Amino acid sequence: MASWRKLGLIAGGGELPVVLAEHCAATGRDYFVARIEPFASAALESHPGVTLNLGAMGGRMQALKDAGVDAVVLIGQVPRPDLSQLKLDERAQAMIPTFLAAASNGDDALLRVLLEEHEREGFKVLGAEEVMGDLLAPEGAWGAVTPTDAHHKDIAKAAKIAAAIGALDVGQGVVVAGGVPLAVEAQEGTDAMLARVASLPATVRGTPEARRGVLLKRPKPIQERRIDLPVIGPKTLQGAAAAGLAGIAAEARGALTVRRDEMIAEADRLGLFLYGFTRAEVGEM
């Protein structure tokens, strides 16, 4: 595992950056939060740091250096920006050609450019799981509910579909129920996909009274694992429950969990399984 003196959290939206900042504060680590405006959660404002817009690339790197940061983690959601609307500083303007070239190769290529720019500037770039290993999805059942044989079949099929769409940089999430692929995630995100499943005809999906099917998330095979690992949290569970699913599966050590204890308690209460599958058990090695 890498070592560093002071950690910079480059923070987009969602709960994951908040969880990580709270973890740093609770364990007495030296850290600094570069909040990306307007995406970063307001809950981050009580932590040491700076708030800058997405286009302030040079300004942000300087602020991180001034604070003594030597390693950064890129964390949280940032929607694809409209370049014409961004206030780009000089550093960001110099990156435009590289960005445009990468943009047509998908989200992952775009993030890789950002990551490399920070490495060029002398920062170590870490994955959230290097900073907070217990965020990673564990293997097996996380709570009291375990998948049945039928659920394991859905998990295997969904894992295969997710691998295929991931290899093409489409997305990370898939819903399969009773062998039938109900939904595949692309740009709309997991929450919107689950809302769509909830509105499918009741004949193809489960219900809270008779749960069927699984939401599965796994990293893209080509993915730079330091950024953009799939995330599962209480909101994911809420969406899966409302869609009548029987549970959620994630690749063991291939997804980040947010507020896992809270999620497990709620899943146990609702009767959903939470499960970390290995590649071996879905027939991949």
Give yes or no for a cis peptide into 38 (omega within 30° of 0).
Answer: yes
> Rounded to the nearest 5 degrees, what angle is found at the Cα of 154, between the Cα atoms of 153 and 158?
120
Stretch that binds a second copy, among 113-121, 166-174, 232-240, 272-280 (CB under 8 A): 166-174
Does residue 168 bind a second copy (CB under 8 A)? yes
**Tokens describing residue 235:** 């909101």
Of the pair 67, 200, the CB lying nearest a second copy is at 200
Binding to a second copy, residues 128-157 (CB under 8 A): 153, 157
| Inter-residue contact 219 to 193 (CB < 8 Å) | no
Stretch that binds a second copy, among 18-26, 70-78, 158-166, 239-247 (CB under 8 A): 158-166
Binding to a second copy, residues 84-123 (CB under 8 A): 103-107
- Among 95, 141, 161, 270, interactor with a second copy by CB under 8 A: 161
Stretch that binds a second copy, among 28-36, 56-64, 168-176, 252-260 (CB under 8 A): 168-176
Does residue 204 bind a second copy (CB under 8 A)? yes
Does residue 179 bind a second copy (CB under 8 A)? yes
Of the pair 141, 165, the CB lying nearest a second copy is at 165
> Any idea how long the chain is?
285
CA dihedral 147, 151, 157, 162 (to 10 degrees): -50
Total residues contacting a second copy by CB under 8 A comes to 39
- Among 43, 96, 144, 186, interactor with a second copy by CB under 8 A: 186
Does residue 13 bind a second copy (CB under 8 A)? no
Strands 173-177 and 214-217: antiparallel
Least Å from the CB of residue 170 to a second copy: 4
Q: What is the CB-side half-sphere exposure of residue 112 using CA atoms within 13 A?
A: 15
Least Å from the CB of residue 219 to a second copy: 16
Stretch that binds a second copy, among 36-44, 56-64, 121-129, 169-177 (CB under 8 A): 169-177
Q: Which of 6, 16, 4, 1 is nearest to 230 (CA)?
A: 16
Name the helix (H) or strand (E) containing 139: none
Does residue 203 bind a second copy (CB under 8 A)? yes
DSSP helix/strand/coil, 214:
strand
Does residue 82 bind a second copy (CB under 8 A)? yes
Least Å from the CB of residue 273 to a second copy: 19
Does residue 187 bind a second copy (CB under 8 A)? yes
Helix 57-66 vs helix 90-103: crossing angle, to nearest 10:
120
- E strand intervals along 18-164: 31-37, 49-53, 71-75, 124-126, 140-141
* Exposed / middle / buried, residue 174 (Cβ in 10 Å: 0-12, 13-18, 19+): buried
Does residue 2 bind a second copy (CB under 8 A)? no
Footprint on this chain of a second copy (rule: CB under 8 A)? 79-82, 103-107, 153, 157, 160-161, 164-165, 167-171, 175, 178-188, 192, 196, 200-204
